[in-house]
Amino acid sequence: MKIYQLESEKEKLLSILNGLRSVRRRKIRQEVLRIKQKVEKERQKGIIELCKKFDGWEKEHPLKLTRTEIKRGAEKVSKEDMKVLEAMVERVIACHRPQRSVKRVIKERGLRIEEDYVPVERLLVYSPGGKASYPSSLIMAAVPAKIAGVKEIYVTTPAPNGNVNPYILGCAKILDIEEVYRIGGAQAIFAFALGIDTIPKVDMIVGPGNAYVEEAKKECFGIVGLDTIAGPSELLVFAENPEFPDLVALDLLSQAEHDEMALFWLFSNSKEYILKVIDYVTLFAEQSQRKKIIEQVLKRNAFFVHYKDEKMAVETVNSIAPEHVQIIGNENLKDRILYAGVIYLGITTPTALGDYFIGTNHILPTGGAGRFVGGLSVETFRRKRVKVFTTMEFLKKYGQHAERMAELEGLFVHKEAIKARKEKKDEIEGWVPKR
């Protein structure tokens, strides 16, 4: 495992990372577009064929689960584990309930602006279920959606050989979600974005997935609303004057075990410390139950970075904009890290805990998207609605300026629409509309 010296290899480091992200996308995009074409052309038949190909279906299954299937699947989860799921739901509710938007009114002389929020009507939650199944992501997506007031929530998940993970069904039961589909991958995104046969067209799609799912979501931008670019997991540990190399090694590997495309970085001002972490990473990787996945990450997607210039290190972290950042040793850096999806402070705050029970949302931007978008929240599922009322007094005060702006832009009917109201002042003021 290579150690990069930041001061002399910064550009190389960023170039490798950018190349890694862009090459992946080019290769994946070609396959995703083929899947889209098949879904559009062959519709439900094509979707089932793709499920057979990617999820190993030996026979054809109905794409939508019945209520009985959901109930029986949830019953496979032990009572103790259902309590764990319920406790996570409660934590996420507690953290997201305060995010509810309130109505805002702006008043000036002759002007009133009202801003309130309208929830998305139809939502698809994509819940990963391929190499690993993530009921936690269903909770993270559905809870804020329900708080926002979304009424129609659909869930889709990969179903190896047609079988949906019982823990996802357990979550669906707790969350009172009855619309569950056994479709995974890019084909699921296209099916619900377009509305294919019996599959409903939704207004928004949220939830993390592999690189193919995320590429399909990008392809659907403008057809449906999207949450964020939440692709393969990323963790950057920023360890200045650090301790506990064994715990940091476990934190790095906790994200590496997601899938082969996961990325992690260790930034430290101590080369000796980096070497200690590498020793523990090697040891723990060998012992891991997901050893094969972790080995692929260590081979291609693991970056150990030694720095002397703290300012340059912070600038580089902000350029990378990783999904998760853990700051260990110098928590004063927290306000200088600008674009992480979430920042965890101190050795007692592992990213893995944030994935489940802190209550903050773990559906976060990856691939550098944190530089322009944040993670999932109640606001994600609400669109702003604006209502405006102006009086003749306001028209008189600003109308002439608005007319001139219209002239400057060559939009002469704009000018006339404003001017005509001033000319009909007496008629308008005698008219009393219902409000």
96 among known catalytic residues: no
| Per-residue tokens: 323 | 């999904």
297 neighbors 262 (Cβ within 8 angstroms): yes
30 neighbors 36 (Cβ within 8 angstroms): no
Distance CA 75, CA 73 (A): 5
239 neighbors 273 (Cβ within 8 angstroms): yes
| Per-residue tokens: 305 | 């970075």
DSSP 163: P
Distance CA 126, CA 185 (A): 9
Distance CA 426, CA 310 (A): 68
Residue 42 half-sphere exposure toward CB, CA atoms < 13 A: 13
Residue 105 dihedral angles phi and psi, to the nearest 5° = -120, 130
Q: Which of 260, 323, 362, 403 is catalytic?
A: 323
3-state helix, strand, coil in the chain (%, to 5): 50, 15, 30
183 neighbors 210 (Cβ within 8 angstroms): no
Q: Which of 324, 331, 416, 423 is catalytic?
A: 324
131 neighbors 142 (Cβ within 8 angstroms): no
Q: Order across the sheet with 204-206: list the strands.
A: 179-181, 152-156, 122-126, 204-206, 225-226
108 among known catalytic residues: no
Residue 11 neighbours by CB under 8 Å, 6+ apart? none
Query: Which residues are catalytic, by number?
Result: 323-324
